[in-house]
Amino acid sequence: MKNNPPLSFKETVESYHGRLTGSDRAILSILMNEPRAAVFLSVAQMADKAEVNKSTVVRFAHKLGFEGYPELRAQIRSEIHPETSLDKRSQQRLESIEQGSNLTSLIESEIAALNAISESLSQTQIDQAADHLVNAHTIYLIGRGSAGPLIMHLDRRLRRIGYQTNVALNLQRRDMAEKFMRLCKDDAVIFFAFQAPDSMPTGYKGLITHTQAIGAKSILISDSTGPTIQPRPNISLSVSRPDEGVMQLRTGPITVCEALAMTLAHKNPKQAVKSLEELEHLRDNLLNNKGN
């Protein structure tokens, strides 16, 4: 790369502030979701797999500051441990998915998705996100569409361990403004976005700009397109899956939500235990007074 900045490929993508086309995102999705296989693809093979022109692959590498696609590919290859290269067992797994039943395909796909989390996310990043949330007065959860089940799941997990939450799901701009008019510097906002930019919460740019201006913390939970989202949040937790282009299940992100909630409970165990005890006490009262 020009000037050889000490950045990983993911950091290079995150630091890019230019415009990425739909074709660029198709290439990026392959590189982020299938790095072990992608590093063996030639320009022509990558173009064929992404369904773009060869010149588009080259231009994409240049956009990110590489001298060419071979240098981009070498950068990714240098970040992958030799033992994680696509081996015979991985190839057999892919063939098994293609030949198996729907249930078998689903199970294999979700196993691959869980294994892929370690390729794109670390406990250190989870800890950093939890540090932004642990003392938050209110945690806002915002997203739309298929992010709904994830938001409701994390909302419940956070409330159970003593955090005050405020959910903003599928809201339009006017409603969003009313929802966030009380946002303050002691709060935190968690955005959910998948297959960006189409799934971005309405008003994301204005809302995250406002969040930054008042000093509130922001976290983004997303798929492999997360590093391309602008403006950047304080923390980005992006997870990829090998079949992201065709599969819509959220096994990876829900695992991230669980890890985040568990880490928060670990960082503030007294609050978590107290809240869970209060919840059980209230449940007992409700169950023992059914007739009232």
Phi (first) and psi of residue 260, to 5 degrees: -65, -45
* Kind and range of the H or E run holding 16: none
Distance, in Å, from the CA atom of 247 to the CA atom of 224, rounded to the nearest integer, reads 13
Distance, in Å, from the CA atom of 219 to the CA atom of 192, rounded to the nearest integer, reads 9
Which residues have CB under 8 Å from 217's CB, separation 6+? 132, 133, 136, 187, 188, 189, 211, 234, 235
Distance, in Å, from the CA atom of 93 to the CA atom of 34, rounded to the nearest integer, reads 14
Phi (first) and psi of residue 77, to 5 degrees: -60, -35
What pLDDT sits at residue 249?
67
pLDDT in tens, the chain (292 residues): 445 556 788 888 888 888 888 899 989 988 888 887 888 788 888 999 899 999 999 999 999 989 888 889 888 888 875 444 444 444 444 444 444 456 766 777 778 778 878 777 899 999 999 999 999 999 999 998 888 999 999 999 999 999 999 999 988 888 888 999 999 999 999 999 886 555 677 788 899 999 999 999 999 998 877 888 888 999 999 887 665 554 456 788 899 999 999 999 999 999 999 999 999 999 888 888 765 5
Angle between helices 54-63 and 22-33 (to 10 degrees): 80
pTM summary value: 0.70
Q: Is 240 in contact with 32 (CB distance < 8 Å)?
A: yes
Q: In terms of C-beta density within 10 A (0-12 exposed, 13-18 middle, 19 or more buried), how is residue 202 classed?
A: middle
Q: Is 268 in contact with 162 (CB distance < 8 Å)?
A: yes
| Domain assignments of the chain as residue spans, ordered by start | 9-82, 85-119, 121-281
* Residue 46 structure tokens: 């990558």
Distance, in Å, from the CA atom of 126 to the CA atom of 235, rounded to the nearest integer, reads 9
At the second CATH level, the architecture of 9-82 is Orthogonal Bundle (1.10)
What pLDDT sits at residue 102?
63
Which residues have CB under 8 Å from 287's CB, separation 6+? none
121-281 CATH choice from 3.40.50.2000, 2.60.120.680, 3.40.50.10490, 3.40.50.2300: 3.40.50.10490
Q: In angstroms, how far is CA 198 from the centroid of its own chain? A: 15
79 three-class SS: helix
What pLDDT sits at residue 223?
83
Distance, in Å, from the CA atom of 290 to the CA atom of 292, rounded to the nearest integer, reads 6
Distance, in Å, from the CA atom of 286 to the CA atom of 292, rounded to the nearest integer, reads 9
What pLDDT sits at residue 92?
46
CA distances from 217 to 135, 239, 250 (A): 11, 20, 24
What pLDDT sits at residue 123?
93
113: left (phi over 0), alpha (psi -120 to 50) or beta: alpha
What pLDDT sits at residue 85?
42
Distance, in Å, from the CA atom of 224 to the CA atom of 245, rounded to the nearest integer, reads 11
Distance, in Å, from the CA atom of 234 to the CA atom of 219, rounded to the nearest integer, reads 6
What pLDDT sits at residue 3?
52
* Kind and range of the H or E run holding 66: none
